[in-house]
């Protein structure tokens, strides 16, 4: 699939994706597999539900004292000889990293999968400054060679066939005639990238967590590229959103126990790397310099904002896999760094609600994402609020404004909503095929044409909402 | 700071301005002020005496380690590891020799004996292997460059294990003097040797240990800047979801479990 152009309207991008048969098959296979693995891994893990509640509580409590935890993190990192930098905007974050690279005389940089550096479009900035960034996660490497963007948070090259990868490697790496065998292609990538790891001056990574108590940056990978990037080059820079801090090691292990299960169905990812500052006396490898770039980029504004809960996100990708819209159109159609339901919220967080005037509607509000989310982020609730915001400012396309304006009004009046849902249930019957609605008549047709609505969920949003309200009233709920 | 003095870059790393930091935190506090009292804040409980707690746990496990070792084996094999059992440390060179022979591996890089526990070097050499032992203590740049070179070409990396988690089949390795990060990373085959004293049951217990390792604030005591959890061989599924091993790290991970304790 070629890069979508943001000038192309969302509806058209989605239509393009829907017309791409391989993409749809690949998406379906991948998301279904991730879902199955996730279900299995939580199936034999009875304490999982408690741990999810616990994880959510930790995120909430951490935000309540965010300044204190960040201060402790900074202090612990500096005590170990590391450096902490503060980036309020994406522009500042890029400047800080470029500055570190320049002072270190870095020519080649190896990168380990990091959504945070995607978010600030760091690679383009590095290239412009004469520094060569090399993505080392196999999926990222593939799309970097193809000059594309990730289409899934944890499986960035999900949209490429093995044949395409073979062709790409043959051409880009000057190794003609490579077979379309993943085993061979992976070995080729190992050889190419091993060379780069050993030569690189600087390693740039993201961070899945940072432990305030101990000044520890935590990286979770399956391939080992995170270990390479933090062990071999002489400078390590971690770029991290400020919401990734957790107070203690005891908190960290709660997240470790559920993160990989939610993402890939593993109990733990293959490598969990705890980085504590630069190389210490006696160590035979590890960087001379360690830098943490603490990045705000729109996050702080949400501490008291509509999207506060989106700050809990672990970037596990589970909500993408369950989302009926993502499963149909894939990551690229969303048009921004973060795809899927959570991606809509994060895009609004980073670029303002204007950026999601169409996207805010690329969800059927079926609630599957909340159930899948390890920290139970209420994505539908925030999407509705975003839609309201967008509709109030009159930045949505006319039909969507009407539909969702009506939707919001209906939501606020329970009786009306119940009647509407009953009507929808009755209405959808003739149009539903295998639990999906392919077409709705009249008013809705513009919407479902590109959206293949899932049939109204068994538990409706309203019913779920009522449940939440009860939980809150009884004081046992942890949702704000 | 000592680490930085050895830095090969001529310039000092950039320092953030105090103003940038103050402003950054001010903005956070302002926003936090708007939500005070609106959300529940139940801070996480930290175990009061993690060192004692984990000691008790490990003592209990030591009494019934066979069960725990079995569980470890099951999970380790489930994630694609190869499990070996040895009665005593004296049997280990044969096990490693066997692994090397099967893979036609000849070059071995190993942690320093002080970090590993036993000195297996001579016995491995006697089995026809070419063994590079990394230096302990605080060697300089020359040894660093040498270790990097030999690790990059070694067929097999030999390390100890600080903790083995039964629930997940995970090996936990701390970096430090005589225990480079790259020994378990660069060679295509990683062999880790440990005994029952390394066993713990769960990720929750790992939490206790991680607390214990950092309280009080670590006297550096030879420990390095990295703790690595290894759960199986390096893997990827980035090409059409086809599971492939050894993309960056080792293609094979072997656990050699020695029933008779050999560590202090
Ligand atoms: S919102 Fe939840 S499910 Fe989605 S990526 Fe974030 S943590 Fe995972």
Residue A89 forms part of a structural domain: yes
Helices (H), A265-363: 318-322, 324-329, 340-351
Whether the pLDDT of residue A122 is over 50: the answer is yes
Compute the distance between CA of residue A291 and CA of residue A277 in angstroms, rounded to an integer.
8
Q: Which of A262, A378, A479 for a ligand 1 pocket mutation test, highest count of atoms within 8 Å of Cβ?
A: A262
Per-residue confidence (pLDDT) for residue B15, from 0 to 100? 63
Is this complex's ipTM strictly greater than 0.85? yes
Average pLDDT, chain A: 82
Helix/strand/coil for A271 = strand
Indicate whether this model's pTM tops 0.95.
no
* Confidence band of A433 (pLDDT split at 50, 70, 90): very low
Compute the distance between CA of residue A10 and CA of residue B161 in angstroms, rounded to an integer.
52
CATH of the domain at A242: 3.40.50.10420
Whether the pLDDT of residue A200 is over 80: the answer is yes
**Residue B198 near residue B261, CB atoms below 8 Å:** no
Per-residue confidence (pLDDT) for residue A6, from 0 to 100? 64
Nearest to B148 among A57, A252, A285 (CB): A285
Ligand 1 atom having least distance to the Cα of A312:
7
CB contact under 8 A, B241 and A227: no
The domain tally of chain B equals 1
* Confidence band of A393 (pLDDT split at 50, 70, 90): confident
CATH of the domain at B131: 3.40.50.10420
- The alpha carbon of residue B43 is apart from the nearest alpha carbon of chain A, in Å, by 5
**Residue B130 near residue B107, CB atoms below 8 Å:** yes
Whether the pLDDT of residue A478 is over 50: the answer is no
Task: Name, in order, each residue with C-beta under 8 angstroms of A347's C-beta and a sequence gap of 6 or more.
Answer: A334, A336, A337, A338, A355, A356, A359
Per-residue confidence (pLDDT) for residue A119, from 0 to 100? 93
Residue A144 forms part of a structural domain: yes
CB-based burial, A185-215: b 16+ in 10 Å, e otherwise = bbebbbebbbebbeebbbbbbbbbbbbbbbb
Asked which of A301, A322, A343 is the last residue of a domain, the reply is A301
Mean pLDDT of all residues in A2-17: 66
Residue A225 forms part of a structural domain: yes
Q: Is A304 exposed, middle or buried (0-12, 13-18, 19+ CB in 10 A)?
A: middle
Residue A195 forms part of a structural domain: yes
Compute the distance between CA of residue A161 and CA of residue A22 in angstroms, rounded to an integer.
8
**Domain hosting residue A136, numbered range:** 49-301
Q: B50 alpha carbon to ligand 1 midpoint, in Å?
A: 31
Mean pLDDT of all residues in A141-156: 87
Mean pLDDT of all residues in A30-49: 91
Checking DSSP bridges between strand B199-200 and strand B130-133, what pairing results, if any?
unpaired
Mean pLDDT of all residues in A269-280: 96
Residues of chain A with C-beta less than 8 angstroms from the C-beta of B46:
248, 250
Which of B8, B12, B13, B183 would you mutate first to test chain A, the one with the most A CBs within 10 A? B13
Whether the pLDDT of residue A378 is over 70: the answer is yes
Per-residue confidence (pLDDT) for residue B17, from 0 to 100? 73
CB contact under 8 A, B226 and A230: yes
* Confidence band of A92 (pLDDT split at 50, 70, 90): very high
Tens-digit pLDDT profile for residues A295-335: 999 999 999 999 999 999 999 999 999 998 888 888 888 88
Residue B29 forms part of a structural domain: no
Compute the distance between CA of residue A32 and CA of residue A45 in angstroms, rounded to an integer.
20
Per-residue confidence (pLDDT) for residue B44, from 0 to 100? 63
Asked which of A253, A282, A301 is the last residue of a domain, the reply is A301
Task: Give the DSSP H/E element, type plus range, for residue B191.
Answer: strand B189-194
Per-residue confidence (pLDDT) for residue A9, from 0 to 100? 73
Ligand 1 atom having least distance to the Cα of A342:
1
Low-confidence ranges of chain B (pLDDT < 50): 1-10
* Confidence band of A411 (pLDDT split at 50, 70, 90): very low
Which value, to the nearest 10 degrees, does the dihedral of the CA atoms of residues A465, A467, A471, A473 take? 70
Q: B86 alpha carbon to ligand 1 midpoint, in Å?
A: 44
**Domain hosting residue B124, numbered range:** 50-258
Compute the distance between CA of residue B152 and CA of residue A378 in angstroms, rounded to an integer.
47
Residue B44 forms part of a structural domain: no
Residues with CB under 6 A from ligand 1: A 313-319, 342, 372-375, 377
The domain tally of chain A equals 2
Residue B6 forms part of a structural domain: no
Residue A286 forms part of a structural domain: yes
Per-residue confidence (pLDDT) for residue A431, from 0 to 100? 34
Whether the pLDDT of residue A447 is over 50: the answer is no
Nearest CA among B230, B185, B244 for reference residue A142:
B244
Q: Cβ atoms within 10 A of the Cβ of B126, count?
A: 10
Residue B83 forms part of a structural domain: yes
Residue A355 forms part of a structural domain: no
Mean pLDDT of all residues in A362-376: 92
Nearest CA among B107, B76, B77, B113 for reference residue B92:
B113
Residue B122 forms part of a structural domain: yes
Beta-carbon contacts below 8 Å between A and B: 325
Share of chain A above pLDDT 70, in %: 80
Whether the pLDDT of residue A468 is over 70: the answer is no
DSSP A391-455: HHTT-S-HHHHHHHHHHHHHHHSHHHHHHHHHHHHHHHTTTEETTEE----GGGHHHHHTT-PBP
Asked which of A247, A270, A301 is the last residue of a domain, the reply is A301
């Amino acid at each position: 699939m070629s890069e979508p152009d943001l000038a192309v309207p969302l509806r058209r991008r989605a239509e393009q994706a829907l017309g791409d048969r391989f993409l749809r098959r690949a998406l379906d296979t991948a998301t279904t597999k991730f879902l199955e693995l996730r279900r299995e891994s939580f199936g034999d893990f009875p304490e999982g539900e408690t741990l999810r509640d616990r994880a959510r509580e930790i995120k909430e409590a951490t935000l309540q004292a965010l300044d204190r935890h960040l201060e402790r993190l900074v202090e612990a990192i500096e005590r170990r000889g590391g450096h902490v930098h503060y980036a309020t905007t994406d522009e500042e974050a890029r400047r800080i990293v470029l500055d570190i690279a320049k002072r270190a005389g870095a020519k080649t940089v190896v990168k380990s999968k990091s959504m945070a550096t995607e978010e600030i479009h760091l690679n383009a900035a590095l290239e412009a400054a004469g520094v060569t960034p090399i993505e080392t996660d196999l999926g990222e490497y593939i799309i970097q060679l193809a000059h594309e963007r990730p289409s899934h948070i944890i499986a960035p090259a999900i949209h490429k066939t093995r044949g395409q990868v073979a062709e790409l490697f043959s051409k880009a790496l000057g190794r003609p005639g490579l077979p379309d065998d993943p085993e061979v292609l992976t070995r080729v990538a190992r050889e190419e990238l091993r060379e780069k790891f050993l030569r690189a001056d600087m390693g740039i990574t993201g961070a899945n967590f940072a432990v305030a108590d101990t000044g520890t940056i935590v990286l979770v990978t399956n391939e080992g590229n995170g270990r390479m990037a933090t062990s071999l080059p002489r400078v390590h820079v971690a770029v991290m959103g400020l919401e990734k801090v957790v107070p203690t090691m005891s908190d960290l292990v709660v997240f470790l126990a559920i993160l990989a299960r939610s993402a890939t169905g593993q109990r733990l990812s293959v490598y969990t790397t705890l980085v504590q500052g630069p190389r210490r006396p006696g160590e035979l490898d590890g960087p001379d310099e360690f830098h943490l770039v603490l990045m705000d980029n729109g996050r702080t504004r949400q501490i008291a904002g509509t999207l506060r809960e989106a700050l809990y996100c672990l970037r596990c990708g589970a909500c993408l896999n369950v989302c009926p819209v993502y499963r149909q159109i894939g990551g690229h159609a969303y048009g921004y760094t973060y795809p899927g339901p959570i991606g809509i919220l994060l895009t609004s967080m980073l670029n303002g609600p204007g950026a999601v005037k169409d996207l805010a509607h690329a969800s059927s509000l079926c609630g599957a994402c909340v159930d899948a989310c390890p920290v139970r982020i209420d994505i539908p609730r925030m999407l509705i609020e975003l839609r309201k915001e967008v509709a109030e400012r009159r930045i949505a396309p006319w039909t969507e404004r009407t539909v969702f304006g009506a939707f919001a009004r209906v939501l606020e009046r329970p009786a009306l909503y119940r009647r509407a849902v009953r009507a929808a249930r009755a209405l959808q019957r003739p149009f539903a095929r295998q639990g999906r609605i392919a077409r709705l008549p009249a008013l809705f047709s513009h919407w479902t044409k590109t959206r293949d609505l899932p049939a109204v969920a068994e538990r409706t949003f309203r019913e779920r909402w009522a449940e939440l309200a009860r939980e809150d009233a009884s004081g046992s709920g942890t949702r704000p | 700071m000592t680490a930085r003095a050895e830095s090969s870059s001529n310039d000092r790393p950039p320092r953030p301005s105090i103003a940038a930091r103050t402003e950054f935190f001010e903005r956070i506090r302002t926003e936090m002020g708007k939500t005070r009292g609106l959300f529940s804040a139940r801070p996480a409980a930290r175990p009061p005496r993690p060192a004692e707690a984990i000691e008790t746990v490990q003592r209990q496990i030591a009494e019934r380690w066979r069960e725990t070792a079995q569980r470890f084996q099951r999970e380790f094999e489930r994630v694609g590891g190869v499990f070996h059992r040895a009665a005593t440390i004296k049997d280990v060179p044969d096990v490693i020799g066997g692994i090397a022979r099967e893979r036609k591996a000849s070059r071995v890089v190993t942690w320093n004996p002080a970090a590993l526990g036993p000195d297996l070097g001579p016995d491995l050499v006697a089995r026809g292997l070419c063994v590079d032992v990394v230096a302990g203590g605080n060697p300089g740049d020359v040894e660093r460059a040498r270790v990097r070179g030999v690790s990059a070409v070694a067929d097999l990396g030999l390390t100890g294990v600080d903790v083995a988690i039964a629930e997940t089949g995970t090996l936990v390795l701390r970096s430090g003097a005589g225990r480079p990060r790259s020994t378990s990373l660069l060679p295509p085959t990683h062999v880790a040797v440990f005994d029952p004293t390394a066993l713990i049951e769960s990720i929750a217990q790992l939490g206790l240990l991680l607390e214990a390792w950092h309280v009080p604030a670590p006297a550096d005591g030879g420990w390095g800047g990295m703790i690595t959890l290894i759960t199986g061989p390096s893997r990827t599924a980035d090409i059409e979801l086809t599971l492939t091993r050894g993309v960056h790290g080792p293609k094979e991970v072997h656990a050699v479990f020695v029933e008779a304790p050999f560590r202090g």
